[in-house]
Amino acid sequence: MARITLRQLLDHAAENDYGVPAFNINNMEQALAIMDAANQVDAPVIIQASRGARSYANDVMLKHMMDAVTEIYPHIPVCVHLDHGNEAATCMTAIQAGFTSVMMDGSLKADGKTPGDWTYNVGVTKTVTDMAHLGGISVEGELGVLGSLETGMGDKEDGHGAEGKLSHDQLLTNPDEAVKFVQETKVDALAIAMGTSHGAYKFTRKPDGDILAMNVIEEIHRKLPNTHLVMHGSSSVPQDLQDIINAYGGKMKPTWGVPVAEIQRGIKNGVRKINIDTDNRMAMTGQIRKVLKDNPEEFDPRKYLKPAMEAMTKLCKQRLQEFNTAGQASKFKKILTPADMAKRYAKGELDPRVA
């Protein structure tokens, strides 16, 4: 049983200079596809479920799927993480369901739409870290609001995201505030805003520094060299996946995602968790479209879900290799339980170290 906390996993990643992709799941096929990839390349992995995933699949189903994958692949450390918790209660019920890590996204209020101010964000995030750490569970916070530096619009493409126009100050995490935020909340990982957004339509052109502000990450890393940084909205939206979808009846508009090279630059500068959902959605959908178009007589779901899973495994494997996560699973000597981690928090061993 190798369910690992985010904190232990990212501490290992920092010591060994790699990043860990956090892939979203909603169903068995996605869970199996991720684990197949992690197993093939000996990588630890983060599997995350959003509020939408929890209501789609049911917490009990998710809990047992996570038990199942750790039983099938006992040698692969798996962190089970809540993506974009909107309030303390959402985080606590995830912990009850067996998650080893939660995101309290206080950059937005509980409605998941209205930007939260400093006092709100620090308050709600600290409430969650205080409680979660007592049980040894890790917490990711977010400072800065995800959205486009091209248009100034928040990202509400998939339901969770700011509505309307945002200022440059909101769209770019302030490095000095990041230091204060980590000190006050004691989060284990910090998600930051620098121009990425959720979904497929991130950039209207190949991003440069004006619209994907990687320099902000570098500056935050200089001030917070010991804090694990998180990049959300980090799908690369590969052209070949857009082409497959469009070749088989899809209608995706031209778009750009986050180039892998920019993520690799982030990993050199403290980025340890990289959130990817859209690329996997596209990989699966492309294959489903292809099978159904090529074989209109087909109605056995396994006939299209199997190639969909294979395409997702291929994508996950590629990212695990590109982020140097591959080869790291067998390096873990001991997986600490949440109870072990709770003792470490209580002793102050895991308090933020601010330069």
Ligand X SMILES: O=C[C@H](O)COP(=O)(O)O
The contact set with ligand X (CB under 6 A) reads 24, 50, 52-53, 83-84, 158-160, 198, 277
Taking the C-alpha atoms of residue 319 and residue 283, their distance in angstroms, rounded to an integer, is 13
Q: Which residues inside 15-54 make contact with ligand 13P, applying CB under 6 A?
A: 24
Contacts of 209 (CB under 8 A, 6+ apart): 215
Applying CB under 6 A, which part among 8-16, 36-44, 129-137, 230-238 lies near ligand 13P? Answer: 230-238
Q: What is the dihedral of CA 31, 37, 40, 46, to 10 degrees?
A: -70
CB of 294 to ligand 13P, least distance (A): 27
Single residue of 199, 266, 286, 338 touching ligand 13P by CB under 6 A: 199
Nearer to ligand X, 82 or 291 (CB): 82
Within 10 Å of residue 172's Cβ, how many Cβ atoms?
21
How many chain residues are in contact with ligand 13P, going by CB under 6 A?
Answer: 13
Q: Out of 83, 105, 155, 277, pick the active-site residue.
A: 83
What's the min distance (Å) between Cβ of 97 and Zn ion?
20
Sequence-distant contacts of 261-267: CB under 8 A, at least 24 apart: 262/207, 262/212, 262/214, 263/19, 263/231, 263/234, 263/236, 263/322, 263/323, 264/322, 264/323, 265/214, 266/19, 266/214, 266/217, 266/229, 266/231, 267/17, 267/18, 267/19, 267/323, 267/324
Tokens for 58, please give them: 């049911």
Return d(Cα 290, Cα 287) in angstroms, integer: 5
Only one residue has tokens 């620098």, namely 194
Active site residue 169: no
- Output the smallest distance, CB 198 to ligand X, in A: 5
Q: List the one residue from 232, 289, 317, 319 that touches ligand 13P (CB under 6 A).
A: 232
Cα 149–chain centre separation? 21
Given candidates 234, 287, 325, 328, which one binds ligand 13P under the rule CB under 6 A?
A: 234
Q: How far is Cα 124 from Cα 117, in angstroms, rounded to an integer?
A: 11
List 90, 227, 235, 242, residue binding ligand 13P (CB under 6 A): 235
Q: Which does 135 bind (CB under 5 to 8 A by kind): Zn ion, ligand X, ligand 13P, none?
A: none
Picked from ligand X, Zn ion, ligand 13P, none, the partner binding residue 52 (CB below 5 to 8 A depending on kind) is ligand X
Contact residues for Zn ion, defined by CB under 5 A: 158, 198, 232, 275
Active site residues: 83
Binding site for ligand 13P (CB under 6 A): 24, 83-84, 198-199, 232-235, 275-278
